[in-house]
Structure 1
Amino acid sequence: MKMKAAVMCHTGQPLEILDVELAPPKAGEVLVKVEATGICHSDLNALEDETTPTPTILGHEGAGIVVEVGPNVKSVKPGDRVALSWVPYCGTCEFCVTGSVNLCESAFGPMFAGTLLDGTSRLSVEGETLYHYSILSTFAEYTVVPEMSCIKIPDIMPFAQASLIGCGVATGYGAAVRAAKVTPGSTVAVFGIGGVGVNAIQGARIAGASKIIACDVKEQNLELAKTFGATHVINVAKVAADEALKELTGGYGVHFAIDCSGNTQAAAAAWKGTRKGGTVVVVGAFNPQKELTLPAGGFHRMGKTLKGSFYGDVNPFHDFPIIAQLYLEGKFMLDELVLGKISLEEINKAFDSFHDCSCVNVGRSVITF
């Protein structure tokens, strides 16, 4: 079938709106009409990364309607409304059978190669193969994805809000609820108040934390953090974060700290500002050239836990519906994360805004079709 898509033809160059061909779904695959797709900073990273295969169709936060299913698909049918997960899992590997489906490696070889799970592409333009991005390629009117990427959502769930669940929302919520396992009455610090951090705040609020402390360098983000549930804020450019956290917690430090910044210095401050027996969860991706340095003195006596978390430790089939229901009950803020709805043709303006430090980055521009 023919469709319009925003194609990354060259690294670092504006996306081009092209008519492309999409082949039908094969066994275990689903054709989805994309109704909405968020534009994430990770898409910008891919656009600027020379290792991204080109030409490719970016986009990994999507929601839409099932149009057609391939052989052996059982969990969805045409007409179903779905949110898309860019981390499909196999269900049979060591990680899946022990409950850590977010750690399944089955998708990552194809993902890095720019294909679907069988190692081939469903995309082409004028006979030339196009690559997939993060299995989903949602910057297009339609997409073919694995069945395991399709999570049904309630019929009354708006698509723009549903599209955001698949990446930053699930990661932030999961970091607090699944990875950290925030407990009622506890104190929580969140470092890095962007699209993931505000949802870690929401997760901590929903889990019943009594004190949620937002830590960032941007005053605008700190003010926004309050609307999502932060009870206190710390501008870490002005004060030492670890000392400020101790002052807010009777000298002990917080029970839980969640680092969404990807900054090793922030993670070190989170560790120092966490009390004995506390837990630090890192969901931000560190620069591999950097080192994380923690105090060695008395390390064993601190009883702390340092945990990396990929995708917030969520199981999409379990957690996406929970987030959707919380939103419909007015307990999870998604409307406020939709910074604006734009057309596919306006996509490059949204990418340009990532380079404007004055633009709000707590949320997403969302393409609607």
Structure 2
Amino acid sequence: MEMLAAVMKGTNQPLAIEKVELAPPKAGEVLVKIMATGVCHSDLNAIEDESTPLPTILGHEGAGIVVEVGANVNTVKAGDKVALSWVPFCGTCEFCRTGQVNMCESAFGPMFAGTLLDGTSRLSQNGKLVYHNSLLSTFAEYAVVPEMSCIKMPNGMPMAQASLIGCGVATGFGAAVRAAQVKPGSTVAVFGIGGVGVNAIQGARVAGASRIIACDVKPQNLEMARKFGATDVVNVGEVNAAGALKELTGGYGVHYAIDCSGNPTAAQSAWLGTRKGGTTVVVGAFNPKKELSLPAGGFHRVGKVLKGSFYGDVHPFRDFPIIAQLYLDGQFKLDELVLDRIALPDINKAMDAFHDPCCVNVGRTVIEFGGESA
């Protein structure tokens, strides 16, 4: 079939809105009509990354309606509303068998190669190969994706909000609820109040934390954090973060600290601001050239847990529907994360906005494709 898509043809170049061809789904794959897709900073990273295979169709935060399923697909059918996960899993490896589906390695080879799970592409243009991105490629009217990327949504779930669940929302929620395992009545600090951080705040709130402390350098982000459930804010550019956390918790430090910033200095502050026996979770991706330094003296005596978390330790088939239902029940804010709604031809405006240091980054611009999206 022919469809309209935003095609990346060169590094650091605007995306081209062009017609491309999409082949039917094979066994274990699903054809989805994309109704909405978030524009994530990771998409800009791909545009600036010389290792991104070209040409490619970006986009990894999507939601839509199932049009057709390939052989052996059992979890969804035509007409289902779905949110898409960019980390499908095999279900049979050591990690999947023990419930750690976010640790499955099956997606990463194809992901870096720009293919689907079988090592081939369903995308082409004028008879030439076009690559997938994150096994989804949602900057297009349709996408063929792995069955294990399709999570059925409740009928009343709006598509713009559903599209955001698949990346930053799930990661932040999972960082608090799954990775940190925040307990009712506990104290939590969240470092880096962006698209992941505000949802870590929401996850901590849903889990019953009594005090949630937002830590960032941007006053506007800290103010936004209060709207999502932060009880206190700390501008880490103005005060010593670890000292401030201890001051706010009677000198002990927080039970849980979650670093969403990707900054080793913030992760160090999170660790230092966590009390004895507490847990520090790092969900932000560090620059591999950087190092994380922690004090060695007395390390064994404090009994703390330092945990790295990929994708917030979520299980998409368990956690996506939970988040959707929390939203529908008025217990999880997603409307506020939709910063703007645009059409596909305006996508480069959304990309350009990432270069504006004053732009609001607590949320997403969402591309909508028309039709049923409410």
TM value normalised by structure 1: 1.00
AA of the residue aligned to 1:255: H
Q: What code does the residue aligned with 1:178 have?
A: R
| 1:59-95 Cα shifts (integer Å, max 9, x gaps) | 0000000000111111111101100000100000000
Query: In structure 2, what is the equivalent of residue 346 of structure 1?
Result: 346
Q: Partner of 2:372 in structure 1?
A: none
Gaps of 5+ in 1: none
Corresponding residue number in structure 2 for 1:162: 162
Distance, in Å, in 2 between the alignment partners of 1:127 and 1:11 is 22
Q: Please name the residue that 1:100 is paired with.
A: 100
Q: Secondary structure at the match of 2:245?
A: helix
Partner of 1:20: 20
| 2:120 corresponds to | 120
Match of 1:365 in 2: 365
Aligned partner of 1:255 in structure 2 is 255
Equivalent residue number for residue 184 of structure 2 = 184
Residue 121 (structure 1) shift: 0.3
Q: CA deviation at 1:252?
A: 0.3
Residues 281-310 of structure 1 deviation map (CA, whole Å, 9 limit, x = unaligned): 000000000000000010000100000000
Supply the distance in 2 between the matched residues of 1:133 and 1:48 (Cα, whole angstroms). 14
User: Quick one: distance in 2 between partners of 1:352 and 1:238?
Assistant: 29
How much does 1:192 deviate?
0.2
Cα deviation for residue 33 of structure 1 reads 0.1
Q: Deviations over 1:159-180 (max 9, x none)?
A: 0000000000000000000000
Cα deviation for residue 268 of structure 1 reads: 0.2
| Equivalent position amino acid for 2:113 in 1 | A
Q: In the TM superposition, what is the alpha-carbon distance from 1:218 to its structure 2 partner?
A: 0.2
| CA distance in structure 1 between the aligned counterparts of 2:308 and 2:134, rounded to whole angstroms | 21
1:1-369 aligned within 5 A:
1-369=1-369
Cα displacement (A) at 1:38: 0.2
Instruction: Indicate the SS of the match to 1:35.
Output: strand
Q: State the AA in 1 paired with 2:283.
A: V
**Offset at residue 273 of structure 1 (A):** 0.4
Letter in 1 for 2:196: V
Per the alignment, in what secondary structure is the counterpart of residue 178 of structure 2?
Answer: helix
1:115 counterpart letter in structure 2: T
AA aligned opposite 2:3? M
Residue identity in the other structure for 1:184 = P
Task: Supply the distance in 1 between the matched residues of 2:251 and 2:22 (Cα, whole angstroms).
Answer: 59
Partner secondary structure for residue 132 of structure 1? coil
In 2, distance between residues paired with 1:248 and 1:91? 43
Q: Partner amino acid for 1:98?
A: T
TM-superposed CA distance for 1:128, in Å, is 1.1
SS at match of 2:215: strand
Instruction: Name the Cα RMSD after superposition.
Output: 0.4
Identical pairs, percent = 79
Equivalent pairs counted in the alignment come to: 369
What TM-score do the two structures reach when normalised by structure 2? 0.98
